Amino acid sequence: MKANFFSLLMVVGLVYSTSAIAQTNALPKGSYVVVAAFSPHHEDYAIRLSKGLNKDGLHTSYGFEPTRKYWYVYLNHSADRDECINEVKKTRSESRFADAWVHTIKDSDEVETANTESEKTPDTIIEEPKKEEPKTEVVTEVVPNPPAAPVYVPQTLKNTQVFLSLFNSTNNEVVDGDVEVINTETSKLITRVKGNTYLTLPNPKSPSGQLTLISNTFGFRKEQLEISYLNTEGDTLKPYVSLVGNFYMINFSLNRIRKGDISTLYNVYFFNDAAIMLPESKYQLNSLLELMKGSDKMKITLHGHTNGGGGGKIIYMGPSKSFFAIAKDVKNGSGSAKELSQARAQTIKEWLISQGITEDRIDVKGWGGGRMIYDKNSAYARKNIRVDVEVNED
């Protein structure tokens, strides 16, 4: 069953003045390939969706449409309307943007021509300029679009994808992380998925159909949200769920870890028997560095852990301080699991110091296999090899 895009997309917001928005954020004239629209008080939704799509490899922008009074997220802006019409046809072939449309904004000096042609083009929407307004008033034109793909009613997680938006609550910046998908009734983990991507959530196959979603992002406290697989439209009453055309946007408003909190560097890896990191560790190390730079008062303890408590060979960094490779000047030694875990935490400390963090802000402690979270012979045993970050002061 087909449904009008605007009737599904827009949730009427609070009524308030948009004059300030129109003056500072109004979209310039031209044609736009629009993929989503949000009511005036939800600029933050437009920001997060645009940033999330860009992290997903697209090139989107957003702005305020002063006549219709919506925030538009768009893929392309061009003076050539035909170019946008051709692009929207290609865009609609992607399931996530099956309801994309072309929107055109004109200056007031084009009103007269547009009015003449409006008799031939019923879909043209023009607002007459007010007498007291200068000739810079914006008018808009909606271009007839190619047929949209079917949008199913009711829209549930069975037939509708979701976009899991993970963002920093203090500045709306998109942050990378995973989301655990849990069967609410049994409290069992179903799967882990990547945030800021489009995906189809699994069916919990339970009478209630409830799913619990828990964010897992380094440097941020976990956020737990619930959503119904069977009655998802009803969940749009919750502040963190929005129906945007043919996908649900679920917003995880994340808060930085504070004093007493612990976050794990699960994506920092070490060479076997070594206090030297693998190159793929750089990405999450940069997240730790960003956390430390975000507050000059923050002090942390790095807790090193191993899988089991046996001793053996230990490879230490040499004078070249090669953090991510087994260099020629490495030092070979031996020691206990506790010593290995402390040496690994020390390596991370030295890397942070090399990036400008002062030594007095970082303590290290090695636990060896004293605080394993899984049995050392289980399928998840490698997760015992980790470094935890505890915030002592913030």
Same domain, yes or no: 250 and 266: no
Q: Are residues 223 and 248 in the same domain?
A: yes
Where do the H-state alpha helices sit in 61-127?
A: 81-91, 111-118
Choosing from 80, 110, 142, the residue where a domain stops is 142
For residue 50, give the H/E element and its range: helix 43-55
**Residue bearing the bigger pLDDT, 56 or 316:** 316
For 229-244, the pLDDT digits (tens) are 999 999 999 999 998 8
Domain boundary among 254, 272, 300: 254
Same domain, 170 and 138: no
Residue 341 falls inside a structural domain: yes
pLDDT of 53 strictly over 60: yes
Give yes or no: residues 45 and 105 share one domain.
yes
Which parts of the chain are beta strand (E)? 30-38, 61-65, 70-78, 101-107, 138-142, 161-168, 178-183, 188-194, 198-199, 210-216, 224-228, 241-244, 247-254, 262-264, 299-305, 312-316, 331-335, 362-366, 386-393
Check residue 112 and give its pLDDT. 35
Residue given tokens 């920001």 in the structure block? 47
Residue 80 lies in a domain: yes
Both 228 and 287 in a single domain? no
Does residue 156 lie within any of the structural domains? no
* CB-CB contact of 99 with 148 (8 Å): yes
| CA 388 distance to own-chain centroid | 23
Burial of residue 159 (number of CB atoms within 10 Å: 0-12, 13-18, 19+):
middle
Same domain, 270 and 239: no
In a domain, 314, yes or no: yes
- pLDDT of 22 > 70? The answer is no
Q: What is the domain-level CATH number for residue 212? A: 2.60.40.1120
What pLDDT, on a 0 to 100 scale, did the predictor assign at position 10?
Answer: 39
pLDDT at 294: 87
23 and 128, same domain (yes or no): yes
- pLDDT of 119 higher than 50: no
Task: Give the domain range for residue 130.
Answer: 5-142
CATH code where residue 301 lies? 3.30.1330.60
Q: Report the alpha-carbon distance of residue 324 to residue 316 in Å, rounded.
A: 12
pLDDT for 289 equals 95
DSSP 8-state symbol, 235: G
**Statement to judge: residues 122 and 198 lie in one domain:** no
Read off the pLDDT of residues 200-226 as tens digits, 9 standing for 90 and up: 999 999 999 999 999 999 999 999 999
| Reported confidence tier of residue 15, pLDDT bands at 50, 70, 90 | very low
Question: In the prediction, which pLDDT does 115 show?
Answer: 34
Please check whether residues 14 and 112 belong to one and the same domain.
Answer: yes
CA distances from 230 to 80, 201, 212, 246, 335 (A): 43, 12, 13, 16, 56
* pLDDT the model gives residue 65: 87
Q: Is residue 20 part of a domain?
A: yes
* 175 and 281 assigned to the same domain: no
Residue 225 lies in a domain: yes
Among 227, 254, 281, which residue terminates a domain? 254
Per DSSP, the three-state class of 46 is helix
Asked if 210 and 307 sit in the same domain, the reply is no
Amino acid at 81: R
Long-range contacts of 308-312 (CB under 8 A, 24+ apart): 308/337, 308/369, 308/372, 308/376, 308/384, 309/336, 309/337, 309/338, 309/368, 309/369, 309/370, 310/337, 310/369, 311/335, 311/336, 311/337, 311/339, 312/273
Q: What is the pLDDT of residue 2?
A: 39
| 43 within 8 A of 71, measured Cβ to Cβ | yes
**Domain count for the chain:** 3
Report the alpha-carbon distance of residue 50 to residue 59 in Å, rounded. Answer: 8
C-alpha separations of 352 from 32, 285, 299, 325 in Å = 45, 8, 12, 17
Q: What is the per-residue pLDDT for 8?
A: 37
CA dist 256 and 169 (Å) reads 9
Q: Is 4's pLDDT higher than 50?
A: no
Q: What mean pLDDT, rounded, does the chain reach?
A: 82
Looking at the structure, tell me whether residues 202 and 173 fall in a common domain: yes
Cβ pair 391, 257 in contact under 8 A: yes
Contact 345, 353 (CB under 8 A): no
**Where would I find the beta strands (DSSP E) of 268-394?**
299-305, 312-316, 331-335, 362-366, 386-393
**Tokens 């046809």, located at residue:** 89
Asked if residue 150 is part of any domain, the answer here is: no
